[in-house]
Structure 1
Amino acid sequence: MNHLTEAYVDSLALNSSAIKNGKDLVKKNSFPLLCQSEDGTIIFGECKGSGKDPYQCSVDVIKEGNPVFRCTCPSRQFPCKHNLGLMYAFTSGKTFIIAPIPQDIADKREKAEKREEKQKEAATTDAPVPKRKTNKSTLLKKITAQLEGISIAEKLILQLVTSGLGSLDKKALQTADEQAKQLGNYFIPGIQSALREFTQQFRSDLEREKVYAVGMEQLTTMHALIKKSKEYLNGRLDNPDLTIDGETTLEEWIGHAWQIAELRELSRVRNDIELLQLSFRSYTNPARGELIDEGYWADLQSGQIHITRTYRPFRAAKYIREEDSVFQVARAKELAIYPGELNTRVRFEEAAYREARTHDYMNVQQAASKSYTDVIKQVKNLIKNPLSDKHPVVLLQYAEIKKTESYFVLIDEQGKQLPLADIPYLNAPTTSLLTMLTKPHLENQSMLVMFEHNWTHNRLEAQPLSIISANEVIRLLY
């Protein structure tokens, strides 16, 4: 239990309310019994509840980085407030008596160990992992429905274009929303969200001319999405044995939610990978009806910048753990890598954490791109593709950060300049924070930036997310 700190417990909580509720239990002395095992791998106890009998709660950390929470309360939150309170009682120095591990927990541990042994035995055999069988009849029905929904979306977009963007008044937008809502029955949530984002853009407070520019870009994306989706799905309809597209983001654009088991089958997993988070943000996506927690991580082995995303639907947000900034190095037991391009999305369930060291920061710095000419060319080629990420994140080395009359610029070792600006997509200004940097951080360091094409000035701009020096990460967006 040595690694159990208040900050770590905070990171396990689903949200800030759960943190408050857990700490309140400790303040109210709601735990008449607090125990820990002799080997320090489990804490358990009793917590007063609304009924006459206290809740039996425990936190089992026999597997580092993957705590198991148990409680007899009816809550569907894991960890529940009683588990959190138990951990906060431990971190605050409450007295825990040494006691034998309860028999029911010992039995559950034994069953879990047997399951793991069987999995290890299966992994060491030469026999290939059996792929899940696909019900072809169900698959064909789904694809047929998807194509029908795409046909409806295509007609709706054609109607919007034919009428002209200038005709999109309140009534027309309401009609478009109602038609987009019908797409929820056709297994194409990604296309449905793209349409909602388009209509919501015209309800924003932006100047109409700026809205038109963004709207045209969104229409171009939807046109390409519908064209490619029809070709791809018709191909699968003709040949149900055709493998799902595991190389591009097309399936995710249509609305497919990748499962780790699928990514394993596609060999899109790596083991024991160390990651250092460089930046983090949380935002709301009304079109998807979700809260999104997004982290930007440096792969300490390859130097690639990955993205983690946790989607929390509005209706179920309180039951899904709210992610937060991570300042330690995470060693992922299994890293699942989603199909993608420059910044691939990743996911990991189990991880051990350690403090970041100098060589970790040095690894990140060495992975940073030195030539802005090459980076700009790469980014431009990326965003030309309608279905590519329009806001790629890149790690850059810089010789100097310089302030001109109107804006900051990054200068590489060849003297090439890159303008820095607060891009509308992030809706979180960071450029002004550069004035607070000390002189050592203004020269010969690395910076994580997010790109965006500025339609008004017809140029690429980059917003600073963090500075990486030889011994720290200075987060501007965290």
Structure 2
Amino acid sequence: MATITEAYVDSLAPNAGAIKNGRELVKKNSFPLLHETDDGTLLFGECKGSGKDPYRCSVDFATEGNPVFRCSCPSRQFPCKHTLGLLYARALGKAFTTAAIPQEIADKRDKAEKREEKKKDAAAEPDDSAKPKRKVNKSALVKKIAVQLDGLGILEKLVLQLTQSGLGSVDKKTLQMLEEQDKQLGNHYIPGAQAGLRAFVIIMQPEKDRETVYSAAMEQLLALKALTKKGKAYLEQRAADPDSPMDIDTNLEELLGHAWQLAELREHGRVQKDAKLLQLAFMSYTDEARGEFADTGWWIDLNSGHIRVTRHLRPFRAARAMREEDTFQAVVKTEELFIYPGDLNQRVRWENATFREPGATDYAAIKLLAAASFPDVIKQVKNVIKNPLADKNPVMLVAFQSIEQFDEKVILRDASGKQLQLEDFEENGRQTTTLLSLLREEELKNQAALVMFRHHLDDNHLSAQLMSIVTGSRIIRLLY
């Protein structure tokens, strides 16, 4: 069973309200009975509710890294505040008495084990090459691609029209026309391209100062132009040969709107075994163009040093019913890490995992994994951002000798004296350089820093924002 800490329980809660309510139950001594089994894999008890009978709740760790929550309450929230309260009781040191597993839960465990055995038997093959490949309905695929190509053709004409007429000609009437075209693109199975056009409309909203947004608008047009060109070439090739493989090396499929399934990623070999990750930074933001909230975490792979990204997407219409992700403090160990196609900071997911508290050896390992040469880092970042379809804000872990301030400038300096100027990105809406004055002097020397980069098209300037600092004893999160 995973070590149960308050941070771990916080990570399981669907929202901040559930965290507060679960903690309150413990403070009010609402659990007259708290039990655990001999092997520690099951926590169960009773919690006082609004009725005369208490709610029976349990958290089952029979499958390590994948707890099962059960409660007799009528709440539709999952996990409910009662099961969270049970975990908070353990994390806060409440006494649990040893008791035999309830028969009802034993029966459910038995059924779950039989289901898993059937899955394993069904999946068993002599070797990987003998596993059947996913069957593709070629006729349906070709029809879908034809509709997608039609949509990209519409988008291509719009981009050409906007480029030829110039951004200065974009008025309220033009934006209304673009909004109507954007809605039509919703019928062409290219939600990524549709969101890209919507992003342009948002950038060019009438109430904004046009002079200040022209660079961002032009950057968006360049991205749309590249997407239509590469997207059309890719889809035309697949239409001509439906048996040709999907693009699993770049983010093109995702930009066109494909939602990768874990089974697909496994089939294409995009799985890393026995991964260990630790989150270095976290930020939630609103993506108006896509109509969703994005809970984004940046993690370091403790084996390879790669900076990975988790992105939990909550559509506006369903946000209230979905669990909201939050900062995560523990080291995540998972047997299977699914890696999405992409560039520098590839998105990852996992199904089951175990957790442990990070220690000095983890922080020391992170510092050793940090890139030591700023020129090498900048070269790698520039190779990424020169692709208009790549992530506009690549993130790198760098080793620095010092953080220094000159007048109003803040710089990172590497061991060879090379500098990296730090700024606060307006689009993030969060300042990090101002927080440096709160840190101790030793935390600003010979440490590692997680840094986000941004290329400014107007003056070809590359800037960086400090996200977090890793010392020998802790992670200092500045961007949150």
TM-score, normalization by structure 1:
0.92
Question: In the alignment, which residue of structure 1 is the partner of 2:103?
Answer: 103
2:431 aligns with one of 429, 432, 437: 429
Shift of 1:56: 4.2
Q: 1:205 Cα shift?
A: 6.6
Report sequence identity in percent: 58
| Residue among 143, 164, 181 paired with 1:141 | 143
Larger mean CA deviation between 421-430 and 64-73 belongs to: 64-73
Which amino acid is the alignment partner of residue 126 of structure 1? D
How many angstroms does 1:413 deviate by?
A: 2.1
User: Counterpart of 1:16 in structure 2: which amino acid?
Assistant: A
How do residues 120-199 of structure 1 correspond to structure 2 at under 5 angstroms? 122=123, 125-127=126-128, 128-199=130-201
Cα deviation for residue 132 of structure 1 reads 2.0
Which structure ranks higher in relative contact order (CA pairs < 8 Å, sequence separation ≥ 6)? 2
Q: 1:381 aligns with which of 380, 383, 397?
A: 383
2:219 is aligned with 1:203: no
* 2:271/2:339 contact within 8 Å kept: yes
Structure 1 CA distance for aligned equivalents of residues 414 and 152 of structure 2: 46
Please say which of residues 298-307 and 114-123 is displaced more in the overlay: 114-123
Residue of structure 2 in register with 1:66 after alignment: 66
Aligned equivalents of 2:104 and 2:92: distance in 1?
A: 27
In structure 2, distance between residues paired with 1:26 and 1:473: 29
Letter in 1 for 2:314: R
**1:14–1:318 contact (8 Å) kept in structure 2:** no
State whether residues 303 and 363 of structure 1, in contact with CA within 8 Å, keep that contact through their aligned partners in structure 2.
Answer: no
Deviations 1:154-204 (A, max 9, x none): 233233334432232333323311220221222111011111111101228
Separation of aligned partners in 1, 2:98 and 2:370: 50
Match status 1:77 vs 2:88: no
Deviation at 1:51, TM superposition (A): 7.4
Distance 1:89 1:276, change over 3 A: closer
1:273 paired residue number:
275
Do the aligned partners of residues 33 and 268 (structure 1) sit closer, same or farther apart at CA in structure 2, a change above 3 Å counting? same
Distance in 2 (alpha carbons) for counterparts of 1:164 and 1:218: 14
Q: How does 1:217-228 map to 2 (within 5 A)?
A: 217-228=219-230
Q: CA deviation at 1:102?
A: 2.9
Structure 2 residue matching 1:425: 3-state secondary structure = helix
Q: How does 1:322-471 map to 2 (within 5 A)?
A: 322-471=324-473
Residues in 1 aligned to 2:52 and 2:181: alpha-carbon distance in whole angstroms: 53
Do the aligned partners of 1:35 and 1:97 also contact (CA within 8 Å) in 2? yes
Decide which moves more: 184-193 or 31-40: 31-40
Work out the CA distance in 1 between the residues paired with 2:325 and 2:103: 34
User: Structure 1 pair 38/314, CA: closer, same or farther in 2 (3 Å)?
Assistant: same
SS in 1 for 2:150: helix
Further displaced range: 229-238 or 79-88: 79-88
Alpha-carbon deviation of 1:96? 5.2
Alpha-carbon offset, residue 150 of structure 1? 1.5
Residue pairs, 1:12-51, within 5 angstroms = 12-25=12-25, 34-46=34-46
Offset at residue 280 of structure 1 (A): 0.8
TM-score by length of 2: 0.92
Aligned to 1:474: 476
CA contact (8 A) 1:25 1:85 kept: yes
Q: CA deviation at 1:467?
A: 1.2
| Corresponding residue SS for 1:185 | coil
Tell me the SS of whatever aligns to 2:143: helix
Distance 1:361 1:94, change over 3 A: closer
Q: Residues of 2 paired with 1:35 and 1:357: CA distance? A: 30
Q: Which moved more, 1:398-407 or 1:452-461?
A: 452-461
Aligned to 2:57: 57
After superposition, the Cα gap between the structure-2 partners of 1:442 and 1:26, relative to the gap in structure 1 and judged at 3 Å, is: closer
Aligned length: 478
Aligned AA (1:424): E
Q: 1:240 to 1:208 in 2, by over 3 A?
A: same
Cα 1:362–1:204 shift into 2, 3 Å: farther
Distance 1:243 1:50, change over 3 A: farther
Q: Which runs of 5+ in 1 are unaligned?
A: none
8 A Cα contact 2:371 2:397, kept in partner:
yes
Of 300, 303, 312, the residue aligned with 2:305 is 303
Equivalent residue for 1:246, pick from 238, 245, 248: 248
Residue 469 and residue 53 in structure 1: after superposition, are their counterparts in 2 closer, same or farther (change >3 A)?
Answer: closer
Distance 1:290 1:439 in 2: 40
Instruction: For 1:146 and 1:391, locate their aligned partners in 2 and report how far apart those are by CA, in whole Å.
Output: 28
Partner secondary structure for residue 470 of structure 1: coil
Q: Distance in 1 between matches of 2:457 and 2:153?
A: 31
SS at match of 1:274: strand
Distance across 1 between alignment mates of 2:349 and 2:419:
35
- Structure 1 residues 212 and 117, CA gap change in structure 2 (3 angstroms): same
Shift of 1:397: 1.4
2:2–2:354 contact (8 Å) kept in structure 1: no
- Change in Cα spacing, 1:434 to 1:269, as seen in structure 2 (3 Å) is same
Letter in 1 for 2:202: Q
Structure 2 CA distance for aligned equivalents of residues 85 and 459 of structure 1: 50
Given that 1:36 and 1:42 are in contact with CA atoms closer than 8 Å, whether structure 2 keeps it comes out as yes
Equivalence for 1:113: 113
Residues 312-321 or 333-342, more deviating = 312-321
Q: CA RMSD in A?
A: 2.5
Letter in 2 for 1:44: F
Displacement after TM superposition at 1:34 (Å): 4.8
